[in-house]
Amino acid sequence: MSLYRFVIVSKDPDVQRLAQRYGQDVFGADDLADALDTVQTVNPDLVLFDHRFGPGHIGDFLDKADKRSTGVRIVVVGSGGGDTGSSAEYLQAGAFGYLQTSKDYRQMERIIDRMENTSEVAGPDPAAENLCSMAGSQEHTQRFFAENIACSVSMVGKSNAMLSSLKMIKLVAGSRCNPILIVGGSVL
């Protein structure tokens, strides 16, 4: 039971370990502005906020994220007492879930189950995972991947047409255009 991408807005190492336990790719952010930029860039399945951020912060974050049209889900991780808001206040502000502490694994698993049951969470492409694992050796990297394109991209190739497509994707990825549809023939 895990999600693909997490963004954590916390400096607490326990919250970071919680994210690493359930997420495959974990990205960190220091503050709300950084979190908003990171969410816009990586399109995570879940954003974890720690108890430093009150319900008002969560509501503001969601308002700004919605204006940028990201369907982000937030879970707030409490400190076990003395937080800036109650779980009901966080949920009313728009959080998808609330954990009493960063060690509340059972509740985190319930939240993930609920997320998986309410909508399909984007996961890694198995073909891309296989290619990325093959990319560990220099020989495979040179054979399949363009030099300046990360193996996390689910496309590979070194032909001129593929390089042009990858450059165009990189150019469009820097804009706010989302999603991108690429059509064309296949050599397979």
Residues 134, 53 share a domain: no
pLDDT tens, 88-146? 888 898 999 999 988 999 999 999 888 888 754 444 434 334 434 443 444 444 444 45
**How confident is the model over 14-61, as pLDDT tens digits?**
998 898 888 888 888 888 988 898 888 888 889 999 988 999 999 999
Residue 180 covered by a domain: no
Whether residues 92 and 16 fall in one domain:
yes
Residues 101 and 138 in one domain: no
C-alpha 101/C-alpha 42 separation (Å) is 26
Q: Which domain holds residue 10?
A: 3-118
Residue 181 lies in a domain: no
Our count of domains for the chain comes to 2
The answer to whether 133 touches 97, Cβ cutoff 8 Å, is no
pTM score: 0.60
CB 82 within 8 A of CB 47: no
DSSP class of residue 69 equals T
Tens digit of each residue's pLDDT (9 = 90 or more) over 158-183: 677 777 777 777 777 666 666 667 77
- Report the residue count for the chain: 188
